[in-house]
Structure 1
Amino acid sequence: MQQNSLSIVLPAKNESNSLKSLIPQIKAIAPTAEILVINDGSTDDTAKIASDAGAKVITHPYSQGNGAAIKTGARNAAGDIIIFMDADGQHDPEDIPVLLNKLSEGYDMIVGARSVNTHASLSKRCANSFYNKLATFMTGHKIEDLTCGFRVVRADKFRKFLYLLPNGFSYPTTSTMAFFRSGFPVAYIPIHAGVRNGKSHINIMKDGFRFFIIILRIGSLFSPMRLFLPISAVIFTTGLGYYAYTYFTSNRFTNMSGVLFLASLLIFLIGILSEQISSLHYKAAEDNRRT
């Protein structure tokens, strides 16, 4: 593969223990790569450990979230290609060459797809399976791992969508859907993620609900009619069924049926309007792809 300048971005919050071994492993695999550790308001010696290991450290004065750290890394990365990895030791640096080789086949993003048994608890396995299927429906593309943060991207493409990325943990969701929507090729490479060092910062209940809302929000930006048309159809069918019931039992058309029909029409029209807004929203990125 043709050598491109490479930056490796590690968002880190209190990850001093894992960085001691992770950075040397990365340097052994990619000795010429720029390593950026985004210290997201850590209260331990994350910044010192990373700096002593030879990484460039950028520190947030307070914790702003994983997505904010990713955006800081993307803005400051000097490489044409950026690799995003978790700093907690879950991602194996040995997979870096595999992802880079796949990128050379003409893709703009390569995502590490974790095996099912990577998720420690049954609830996490079920949640991720549900999210992957929902995102697949929203985008019309097979989503093998929506939440994995181990990915390789072309820097110029990724920076187009920084304004879309939330400051929280769900940047993988947003960036994946944005790439698909803009027609930038995405591929998945199977990986086996290890056990993280330290405690996870994600709350499965609170952040799971928030993540579900983010999927719907990005799905509506991606292809609104995939969201609004089924809702409109369900409400219309409900109204039609209720009308049939009242017609045969009372020989009349009720106000409730009218409300349901009207709601169905309004949701359908909102979907059409959203579809047009979505097309304009991504027009610049699609024009750049054609040129």
Structure 2
Amino acid sequence: MEHTVSVIIPARNEGETIGNIVARIRSLHPDFEIIVINDGSTDKTAEAAHAAGAEVYSHPYNMGNGAAVKSGIRIGTGEIFVFMDGDGQHDPEDIARLLEFFPDYDMVVGERGMGGQASFERAVGNKVYNWLASYVTKFHVKDLTSGFRAVKSEIAKSYIYLLPNTYSYPTTMTLGVLRDGKSVRYMPIETNKRTSGKSRIRIVHDGVRFFMIITKICTLYSPMRVFLPVSFGLFVLGFLHYIHSFITAGRFTNMSALLFTTSIVIFMMGLVSEQICQMRFERRSSDRRMRKFEPNQ
């Protein structure tokens, strides 16, 4: 690779595995910057990572997986950031496979198969979120929540303000990159079973949060993809209610009027949101051009 690479590994209580992971990465890629974010671990995670040759940055307490990733993004100096878990699920040998697609692609994501999911329920839930994300972005999203990915550093840094402090940072980053018109490629990978600890993702609680994040990013980047279906649904309900009331009572009811009015209001809110979104993008593009121009003065 002609580009410099930073491998960012968020870790909490992964003392049994993190040293071996860092050592394998160091043996495969001795020139890579390896950063381990110790997210308030109560075991020997920091010591094991440092002894294996990683740069270790420690949070004073558990701030969340996403917060650890954001710390890594701020610290990393490479042109390409590689994100992977510290629990032994991701194979360091796959890093080279991710990097083969640069600089042609802006982000490359490791795509897990059904067998690579933590449980059947998680696999089904991810399928639903993949479909919803595909609708939002108009791109076939194959693995929305994969934490094993490589992305150009300037792109990762531009989304740091959007990333949450929780486990859903891959969701936010994927949706943001796709809605910004960046190029994404999925690469099939095989994942290993966790060799330490247990997954801290809760299916119901975190599933609801993933759904809310998808909705938030959708309204942030393409509001009409949310407002229009809701408006259309209410209009159809109003029309069906009107047909029913006209046949049974021969009149136009207040409920039909409320549904029609609400659908129009939501549609107009969507139009206003779409205009605000467009102005925000224009300003953001202008700021980027200015930042590129200023150093040349």
Contact 2:245 2:252 in 1 (8 A): yes
Partner of 2:148: 150
**Which residue identity is paired with 2:66?**
G
Contact 1:40 1:69 in 2 (8 A): yes
1:39 deviation in Å? 0.5
Q: Secondary structure at 2:186's aligned position in 1?
A: strand
Which whole-Å deviations, capped at 9, do the CAs of 1:142-170 have from their partners, x for residues lacking one?
A: 10000001110110111111001111111
Which whole-Å deviations, capped at 9, do the CAs of 1:101-121 have from their partners, x for residues lacking one?
A: 1123x1111111111111132
Contact 1:35 1:56 in 2 (8 A): yes
Contact 2:19 2:51 in 1 (8 A): no
Query: For the residues of structure 1 that align with 2:148 and 2:191, how far apart are their CA atoms?
Result: 9
Partner of 2:101: 102
Quote the RMSD (CA, aligned, Å).
Answer: 1.5
Partner of 2:87: 88
Query: For the residues of structure 1 that align with 2:77 and 2:41, how far apart are their CA atoms?
Result: 24
Which whole-Å deviations, capped at 9, do the CAs of 1:171-191 have from their partners, x for residues lacking one?
A: 111111111111111111111
Q: Secondary structure at 1:212's aligned position in 2?
A: helix
1:280 deviation in Å? 2.8
Partner of 2:295: none
Partner of 2:73: 74
Contact 1:183 1:286 in 2 (8 A): no
Partner of 1:126: 124
Query: For the residues of structure 2 that align with 1:273 and 1:196, how far apart are their CA atoms?
Result: 47
Contact 1:66 1:169 in 2 (8 A): yes
Q: Secondary structure at 1:26's aligned position in 2?
A: helix
Query: For the residues of structure 1 that align with 2:201 and 2:247, how far apart are their CA atoms?
Result: 53
Please tell me whether residue 180 in structure 1 is matched to residue 178 in structure 2: yes
Partner of 2:221: 222
TM-score, length basis structure 1: 0.96
**Which residue identity is paired with 1:40?**
D
Segments of structure 1 that go 5 or more residues without pairing to the other structure are: none
1:214 deviation in Å? 1.1
1:284 deviation in Å? 4.8
Which whole-Å deviations, capped at 9, do the CAs of 1:182-240 have from their partners, x for residues lacking one?
A: 11111111111111222111111211111111111111112111111111111000001
Contact 1:9 1:37 in 2 (8 A): yes
TM-score, length basis structure 2: 0.94
Q: Percent of counterpart pairs with the same letter?
A: 46
Query: For the residues of structure 2 that align with 1:282 and 1:93, how far apart are their CA atoms?
Result: 37
Segments of structure 2 that go 5 or more residues without pairing to the other structure are: 293-297
Query: For the residues of structure 1 that align with 2:187 and 2:284, how far apart are their CA atoms?
Result: 25
Partner of 1:190: 188
Contact 2:36 2:55 in 1 (8 A): yes
Contact 1:138 1:222 in 2 (8 A): no
Partner of 1:63: 62
Stretch deviating more after TM superposition (215-224 or 88-97): 215-224
* Aligned equivalent of 1:140, options 138, 141, 145: 138
Q: Secondary structure at 1:164's aligned position in 2?
A: coil
Query: For the residues of structure 1 that align with 2:276 and 2:75, how far apart are their CA atoms?
Result: 31
